[in-house]
Structure 1
Amino acid sequence: MATQTEGWAAGLQLAALSLQRHPDAAGLAATFSGSHRYVLDYLTSEVLELQPEPVRTFLLETSVLERLCGALCDAVTGRSDGQVMLETIERANLFLVPLDEVRGWWRYHHLFADLLRTGCRRGNHSARWC
């Protein structure tokens, strides 16, 4: 579970809660993701829904990317503020993991990326790429 939650304390607690109530703990541990109901509910209500619409749309539209940089986000979203948005999201501690020391490349925390991609598949937003 530590691998899936990447050390996120609340994620570990949600995973532990899930394991207590699941008949196949080993199976759940192997498949635990951001689409699991406890994680999905928590991240949706406590993180995603609290973001302004432009940030939420940016997160959803860029969730299709494994790695993020400003120019790549601009290409995907059709916007011109990808680098600024990424830096804003990082400062807000919105589950953005830096991949270098110069703020050139990032990725979303695995559970958060799972949540965003689940939202894309379910059509729970207006993002045009999902």
Structure 2
Amino acid sequence: MNSATSGAKGWLLEFGRDELRLSVNETREYLERMGRQLDDAALTALHSHTEGWVIGGQQASLRLRHQPHAAEQMDRLGSGQRPFSQYLLANVFGQLSAEMQGVLLALGIASQLSGDLANALTGRRDGQELLE
């Protein structure tokens, strides 16, 4: 048993992109909690454009709050616009240091991680701390 398993008392909970992304209905519920409502076509377009990422729903909610007619434009999302994952890549990943980008790219190939595996993949000695 490695330190990650013993530290988790034998329990493993995995989160992948499918668990982190919202369904269309979850996107609708999120927007409604924020006081925003979209018709089905606009909601479908928004969900497709944001690829279900919560941050995309949040950005849309802010846009709708500040631009009252933005809901009418939601059904045109995606036409000529890059997917939200490209936005995240440029504005989140792209803002990290080159060292941290390298670490994330190295760790990204593993389907499960432990401190020892993080050390092996990155050449670092603080893999467990890095994961925590």
TM, length-normalised to structure 2? 0.41
Q: Which has the higher contact order (CA 8 A, sep 6+)?
A: 1
Bigger share in strand: 1
Bigger share in helix: 2
